[in-house]
Structure 1
């Protein structure tokens, strides 16, 4: 059952999230948990300064490092152009998607309202300048699109997850079209981005955040995951004016994100 115009019926549930390698021992998990809590405290201590791009990127990388998550990323995510910002569109697997994107290129993020109430991550999201969507309000959709258009037209870039829910793999789900209208209205390029997770190079769903899963349950799995890595692959941008309407633009972006991996160069995060 869906709650609003942004919701879809999820195709995955929490049973989809599984370790591809034996979990780390309890002592290693506890050490990671302490390191993650310390990284969160340091980020929160920055207060309003957390939204500064350089500081935000550094804190995002520190959070991933504390969790033992290796970053393989392609950057920058913003298209090399003056004028409007870039609409970064990515598949959605995990709450880790947001720090992974920010660790590569600290753009603004559009997220569901519930994220703002999550322990630890919620406070970070608010201080980082995340824009929240109330997915239960059909009447709010035009205002969301108008606000996103204004942000892009001002030159700022925004990352969105047009699948409107999480999936355990990078090749499933459909793209909702509303956010693409904002790119058309602002004359903004669209940058398709693919997020994939592995454990010791083997495909893994351990980071997936699906169905009735809770943030704390997901965090425990991530803390215990051996050799977890997230790869951020940026595909060539779709320039404004290439597509006739948002349906065509969303289809092209989905093909790039969920299809074969692009040829964008990647680097090993450290």
Structure 2
């Protein structure tokens, strides 16, 4: 770990986040959905570079039309990793809104926040997802409901597969595979009771973090047939992502 490296990266990241907030306030009202999407994707790519994250990609995200991206969840970096591939609206826990700077940025990027303590949370979020699908947008979902170290998957909550199922929207699983100095690692994982500040210290102060985003074949696409039940869709998505997380490829990007 390097204090100098941490300070340099944190300073650059803070400036970049502030610029992102300025873009949301000053530009987004005037540049339309396509312009906002272009800004989001390229801004996310620069952010990952500033954080020292090496990214690689396997497979291709569905490039047009509405889609539900279903991914495992390891770090606060996950949102930017998927946005770097295609501009995506995320379903995220409401606590993220209170994070300093990053929370304001995520809120300004059209994030759908779920109040997990609310009885009507799933219904409200489902309605918001359907609105995004109607605009031909991609929606990102972390169905584990929380982060994990990245070697395995927690159980999937399949309730939020229903808006895509009802709307006849393609569902594409994504596996995010994390490495540290070329080996599978939970070095960047943001799990348990760890604070965001402590995680930033480790990620920004260290080196060698790399992530491979594996875009898998859609588990369902509208073809005129009825979609499987949401429980079945959740099982299929979890199964194919799990196969990519099995640490058979312990050596990766360094």
TM-score by length of 1: 0.81
Instruction: Give unpaired runs (5+ residues) of structure 1.
Output: 1-22, 263-270
Number of equivalenced pairs: 237
The Cα RMSD (Å) is 2.1
In structure 2, how many angstroms separate the alpha carbons of the residues matched to 1:150 and 1:38? 32
- Structure 1 residues 259, 242: closer, same or farther in 2, change over 3 A? farther
Other-structure match for 1:30: 7
Instruction: Give unpaired runs (5+ residues) of structure 2.
Output: 247-254
Match among 61, 72, 80 for residue 45 of structure 2: 61
The answer as to 2:154 corresponding to 1:168 is no
The answer as to 2:192 corresponding to 1:208 is no
Q: Is the 8 A contact 1:78 1:88 kept in 2?
A: no
Secondary structure of 2:120's aligned partner: helix
In structure 2, how many angstroms separate the alpha carbons of the residues matched to 1:106 and 1:87? 12
Higher normalized contact order (CA 8 Å, seq sep 6+, divided by chain length):
1
Structure 1 segments of 4 or more deviating over 3 A?
Answer: 48-51, 240-243
Q: Is the 8 A contact 1:180 1:249 kept in 2?
A: yes
In structure 2, how many angstroms separate the alpha carbons of the residues matched to 1:45 and 1:192? 32
Q: What per-residue deviation string (whole Å, max 9, x for no partner) do you get for residues 177-216 of structure 1?
A: 1111111110011000001111121112121111112211
Deviation of 1:243 after TM superposition, in Å, equals 4.2
The answer as to 2:176 corresponding to 1:195 is yes
TM-score by length of 2: 0.86
Q: What per-residue deviation string (whole Å, max 9, x for no partner) do you get for residues 107-154 of structure 1?
A: 111111111110121111112111111111122222222332332244
